[in-house]
Structure 1
Amino acid sequence: MAAYLIADVDITDMAMFDEYRREVPATEALYGGRYLARGGATRVLEGDWEPHRLVIVEFPDMAALTGWYDSPEYARLKEIRFRCANTRIIALEGAPAA
């Protein structure tokens, strides 16, 4: 069953974040990740949420998603992101096929 990484990214250092943004897709692809949304326009329909840069990445399953997140390939980039952005990230398991 597919799993989704959903991130709300508040960038604090754009130059450093550009390095992260250039390099991270290759690491996700190693684990079967593919972008469904990446920094597009948002519109809040309900609630008091003020999203920043939203990202949704689909992985084949939760094991692939957490494997990527904890991977040595992503470790260096995660440290870069910690220094240049405040991020909220969740992992969401998809619904079973109908």
Structure 2
Amino acid sequence: MTALLIGNVGVIGDKEAMAEYRAKVLETLQLYGGGFVIRGGEFEVLEGDWRPEHLSVMGFPTAKDARRWYTSPEYRAIVPLREGTHMDLVLVEGEGA
């Protein structure tokens, strides 16, 4: 089953470190079959109260691949770059279109 990671970056701690994180994260995703479906951009809230600040959607072939990426040494090595930055990350698994 296809898996998506939906992420939202809120308050940024260290802007330079976060820029380095953003520059490196795609390479770590690709090692596990993932990549960005959407990264940033304009959005419109059609219902509800959620107001994301910087929304990203990452796609993986399976949830297992997404979990392997999340716990991988490559990704864990760059996580300290986002210290002090608020991030929400949700894994969604389901049938693709």
| TM-score exceeds 0.5 | yes
Equivalent pairs counted in the alignment come to 96
Unmatched runs of 5 consecutive residues or more in structure 2: none
| Identical columns (%) | 40
Report Cα offsets for 1:41-82 as digits up to 9, x if no partner: 11111111111100000001011000000000100212222x
CA distance in 2 between counterparts of 1:34 and 1:96 reads: 16
After superposition, where does 1:1-98 map in structure 2 within 5 Å? Answer: 1-12=1-12, 13-81=14-82, 83-95=83-95
TM-score of the superposition, structure 2-length normalised?
A: 0.91
Find runs of 4+ consecutive structure 1 residues off by over 6 angstroms: none
Aligned-residue Cα RMSD (Å) equals 1.3
Unmatched runs of 5 consecutive residues or more in structure 1: none
Report Cα offsets for 1:4-25 as digits up to 9, x if no partner: 0000111413211100000010
Could you tell me which amino acid in structure 2 is paired with residue 79 of structure 1? P
Question: 1:10–1:85: 8 Å Cα contact kept in structure 2?
Answer: yes
